[in-house]
Amino acid sequence: MKLYLFFGAFLFTLSGFAQEDTAWKEPSKESQAYHKYRQHLTYPPYSFDKINQLVRKQVVTDSEDNLVMKDKAYEALSPREKFTYIMIHGESYSQNCDAMPPIQDEQTKIFGYLPDVFNEFTWSDRQKKFLTDNRDSVMAWMQECASKNNRIGVNFKTALGLINGKEMIPYVIKTYQIKHRDNDLLTLLMLLMKDNNYAPFISSATYKKLYGDNSNYQDFIVANKANRDLILKRAMDFYNEHKK
């Protein structure tokens, strides 16, 4: 089935505690495979074919190069259909910087931030408002979709960060522990702790390296067992202290 979706992979360089060599170097096959793995989107099944056709037929370019579904078509969507639309299409144009050299040994790193969901596009204000206004339903739909193959796509991860989906921490941890492969789930856990000012994390060396005054978007920590276990423990402690 051909998909008429407006997204793509955004390549950027992420470095560790020291800046990586900026010379162009072809990553290993394992690193390239993991880069592709990180770009995975979860497609909600709710009227997917219908929404995919609407993206092709009802999305127009406005004066600021945004790709926006016509108001009448958007408002006619059910809540679940709006969720599908938002998860496969970002309306707001956001030009990226110049392409950077590819990441080396990507599979060995836990980054401070998630990769971009859509190439040069992000969610518009009305799309963000829908997600935040319907956060309980959004989290329920995500679990329903992601449980089918135990994958939480980068679109779902980014949305969980946007809506501060801390209630999903046990589910995120459970999903991670099935395969222990998707280190971006650990990134999501750290972002939730950061955004909620969880003191044990804010005072940690990890926070300083990834989010401190001298950090940048390109920073990472090594994905060794000690770091993975510590993130999981801190996130669960945070959840237990703040759950309703």
Residue 211 lies in a domain: yes
234 token code pair: 């801190």
pLDDT category, 97, cuts 50, 70, 90?
low
Rg, Å, the chain Cα set? 18
Residue 46 lies in a domain: yes
Spell out the alpha helix ranges (H) of the chain.
29-38, 48-58, 71-75, 79-88, 125-133, 135-146, 154-162, 169-179, 184-195, 199-202, 205-211, 225-242
Residue 15 lies in a domain: no
Residue 171 lies in a domain: yes
pLDDT digits (tens, 9 = 90+) for 183-222: 999 999 999 999 999 999 999 999 999 999 999 888 999 9
Residue 10 lies in a domain: no
The DSSP result for 38-82, as a single string, is HT------TTHHHHHHHHHHHEEE-TTS-EEE-HHHHHTS-HHHH
Percentage with pLDDT > 70 across the chain:
89
pTM beyond 0.75, yes or no: yes
Residue 168 lies in a domain: yes
Whether residue 209 contacts residue 200, with contact meaning beta carbons closer than 8 Å, is answered with no
202 token code pair: 């804010």
Residue 103 lies in a domain: no
- Give the range of the structural domain holding residue 201, as residue numbers without chain letter: 29-96+109-114+121-242
- Residue 84's SS3 state is helix
* pLDDT for position 99: 66
What's the distance, CA 129 to chain centroid? 17
129 Cβ contact list (under 8 Å, min separation 6): none
Residue 135 lies in a domain: yes
Whole-angstrom distance, CA of residue 183 vs CA of residue 196: 20
pLDDT digits (tens, 9 = 90+) for 14-39: 334 334 445 678 989 999 999 999 99
In the chain, the number of structural domains is 1
**Is 128 exposed, middle or buried (CB count within 10 Å of its CB: 0-12, 13-18, 19+)?**
middle
**Is 202 exposed, middle or buried (CB count within 10 Å of its CB: 0-12, 13-18, 19+)?**
middle
Dihedral angle sign, alpha carbons of residues 181, 183, 186, 192: negative
